[in-house]
Structure 1
Amino acid sequence: MLHAGTIDDALYGIATGINVHAIIADPQAFADAGVEMPDDTTWTWDDYEQIATDISAGSADGGYGVQNYSFIEPVLKIIARQKGEEVFTADGEVGVSAATVEEFFQRSVDLQSAGGEPDASVSTEIQAAGVEGSLPATNKGAMAWFWSNQLNAVQTASGRDLVLLRAPGESEFERTGEYFKPSMYYSVSAKSEHPEESQLLVDFPINSNAAGELILSDRGLPANTEVRAHVLPMLSDADKLSAEFVENLQDVVEDGTPVPPVGAGEVPDITSRINSDVLFGKITPAQAAEQWIDEVTKAIS
């Protein structure tokens, strides 16, 4: 997590807390469709597509296997890392290939065509409905991609016991793609007139059990593992599950992602807009990949 706030070997920010992007799954939806829960330590991307399609086919109430993942880019980051790439390099440039971006969009098209995820109109409505309007939250689907700290909100809305699954493909390639994401950072200006006091201010929420008891998981799971262990008994059942999930990934996550360059804040809007055009058939995944790389490159230039 220190690496996640480091640029050119200098530490610029300390993570307030951490999350991972993963799949929130509804075991009851799997059971109702007659589909077994996957072994998330070995399942592949093809397994993911097949399972989602089988769930849709087996759901008597018109439920879906999975919610569309390509309105935002965290899954692209995972896929890129599995292939030895990064969406952004340490030098602040686009580091993902057009082939990988095309594959990212193509899986959405394939799932839509096979019925594993909703059509373009329904997917757009679900995306706009937010966390509590997601497929698992409304008992209308078995899987959706979220940050791990969102499990509590989705589970509360669903009224069911949900679980977290690792990204597909983690054992399929030469390396893993999951990464720990800082919720946000604490930083101090180099021009601060009170550097020592500022250090104390940052030290308190990061390293104090007392602060941990107040913050709990509001800023993600505490990055300080000792504080995390201290507050664990105070967390909700869903947050405890998230904490265990993150803990189990410590030997799987190989490294952090480079600090994104200035302009990267435009990427979610770019991704969402292009994905909408893909889902509605206005452009092909190959065209989307070229457009995505072109627009993102301009945004960070």
Structure 2
Amino acid sequence: MFSKKRAITGIAVATGAALALAGCAGGSEPAGTLDPDEEVTLTLAFWGNDVRAEMYNEAIAAFEEEYPNITVNSTFLDFPSFWERRQTEAAGGNLPDVMQFDYSYLRQYSENGLLLDLDPYLGNVIETDPLPQNILDIGVVGGTTYGIATSTNAWGMYTNPTLLAEVGVEEFAGGTWDDYAAWMAEVTEASGGEVWGGSDYAGRIQNFEIQLRAEGSALFTEDGEPGFDEARLAEFWEDGQEVIASGAVIPAQRLEELFPTSGFGAALTASELTWDNFGAGYLGELGEGYPELGLVAPPITVEGAQDLYLKPSMLHSISANTDHPEAAATLVNFLVNSPQSGEIFGTNRGLPASETALAAAELDPLSQQIADYEASIQDRLGDAPPVPIVGYGTLEEEFRLLGQELGFGTISVEDAVDRFFTEMNVTLSDNS
């Protein structure tokens, strides 16, 4: 049972149209003035499930033992409801003191004056030695730090070794996107069409992004301008259409029938390009018959390019209107950097970004595999892209939906490109 002091409640929230965000004034305490005798109560919000809630409950108990003058009251929701609640709170100027934060919303909330500038707390309240500079830079918007990454992940390719052994095909040995398409076709053919080599990679904006990065471009620049034109997007989707037409990938209709289980999770595809922290979910879907996963680097667009990057699985941010910024920063530091956080959370929030927390985390075989994978791609890791533009999440979803329609054959590449650029231009216009 949760204590009253650390009540963690799951609340279902439904909201209508998104509420406009209203900026709030910053807190009053300068860095370095935490009074150990002042009784402080902080609110903490995170998304997750009962398992993560128990972990936060344990971490908060350890924090309150170390800082007995600070009480932390926390709430959790599922991911969509979490952001619906935050929008409502933002409109009313009453965001929680400390929030688990998603990268896609960092620019929107920071540029609306809703998040605390963390720079005054870096190096004193929030330890920076355990956090590499490229990790610290992840939370920077417009030259100011608004979030501290709790954990990282990278784009990779999961494979199913058991399934590959059953069909008699070796692991993908690396190579170009054409090599990957040929390997998927080999798997599909070897299985007699009972399973497929993978799914349509052109439906994921991240695959387009790493191709652009390999070419020296980006999805969006720091100024929010697209790093591609209609012709480049059409080329990407046309490549995907060729792979679909070859029969190498699982049909869109079959994926629709499986939803919400993925083709990979249903053991109907031998590979999946995705973030490396999705492995535990796949193992859960696959069940006991498939006890292990392969994890290899995505196909190469340009040899030697730094097309991959570390992305925060999540960050912790502080409300700009907190009454206790020093105490809130102390809590953020504990949740990110403390050995206790590493011991308690392990890799539940992703591979710990802090070297201190990572050293204390007990890595299960999959987590160690992810750590080894991220070490293996060091030569391909470049700087993280600029913090996503406001509305990036909407564009990412539109890209996915258009990819789905392309898979069903209900839209042409030309029309899909036109629709995406129309949506993108509206989003960019709203940001100007």
Alpha-carbon distance between aligned partners in 2 of 1:214 and 1:291, rounded to the nearest angstrom: 46
Deviates more, 1:99-108 or 1:239-248: 99-108
What secondary structure, in the 3-state scheme, does the structure 2 residue paired with 1:187 have?
A: strand
Deviates more, 1:276-285 or 1:82-91: 276-285
Which residue of the partner structure matches residue 111 of structure 1? 243
Which residue of the partner structure matches residue 230 of structure 1? 360
Deviates more, 1:43-52 or 1:149-158: 149-158
Alpha-carbon distance between aligned partners in 2 of 1:102 and 1:13, rounded to the nearest angstrom: 35
Give the 5 Å matches for 1:284-299: 284-299=412-427
Give the 5 Å matches for 1:77-226: 77-126=209-258, 128-129=259-260, 133-158=261-286, 159-160=289-290, 161-169=292-300, 172-173=302-303, 175-226=305-356
Shift, 1:174, TM fit: 5.7
Alpha-carbon distance between aligned partners in 1 of 2:235 and 2:343, rounded to the nearest angstrom: 43
Which residue of the partner structure matches residue 266 of structure 1? 394
Alpha-carbon distance between aligned partners in 1 of 2:353 and 2:416, rounded to the nearest angstrom: 36
Q: Give deviations 1:233-279, integer Å, cap 9, x for gaps.
A: x2322122112112222332011011011111212321122112212
Shift, 1:295, TM fit: 0.9
Which residue of the partner structure matches residue 53 of structure 1? 185
**7, 10, 34: which is aligned to 2:168?**
34
User: Which letter maps to 1:249?
Assistant: I
Identity %: 29
Please list every run of 5 or more consecutive structure 1 residues that lacks an aligned counterpart in the other structure.
none
Q: Give deviations 1:148-201, integer Å, cap 9, x for gaps.
A: 11112212332322111111015x346232121111221123443222112111
TM-score (norm 1): 0.89
Deviates more, 1:113-122 or 1:92-101: 92-101
Note if contact 2:150-2:314 (Cα within 8 Å) is conserved in structure 1.
yes
Aligned residues: 292
Note if contact 1:67-1:135 (Cα within 8 Å) is conserved in structure 2.
yes
For the pair shown, which has the larger CA radius of gyration, 1 or 2? 2
**396, 400, 403: which is aligned to 1:275?**
403
User: Which letter maps to 2:268?
Assistant: K
Shift, 1:208, TM fit: 0.3
Q: Give deviations 1:107-153, integer Å, cap 9, x for gaps.
A: 32112111110223123334x32xxx223322222111222111122
TM-score (norm 2): 0.63
Tell me, yes or no, if structure 1 residue 7 matches structure 2 residue 141.
Answer: yes
What secondary structure, in the 3-state scheme, does the structure 1 residue paired with 2:327 have?
A: helix
Q: Give deviations 1:6-37, integer Å, cap 9, x for gaps.
A: 12222121112111121110123333333322
Alpha-carbon distance between aligned partners in 1 of 2:424 and 2:320, rounded to the nearest angstrom: 30
Alpha-carbon distance between aligned partners in 1 of 2:217 and 2:256, rounded to the nearest angstrom: 29
Alpha-carbon distance between aligned partners in 2 of 1:100 and 1:225, rounded to the nearest angstrom: 39
Note if contact 2:152-2:312 (Cα within 8 Å) is conserved in structure 1.
yes
RCO higher in structure (CA 8 A, sep ≥6) = 1
Deviates more, 1:73-82 or 1:99-108: 99-108
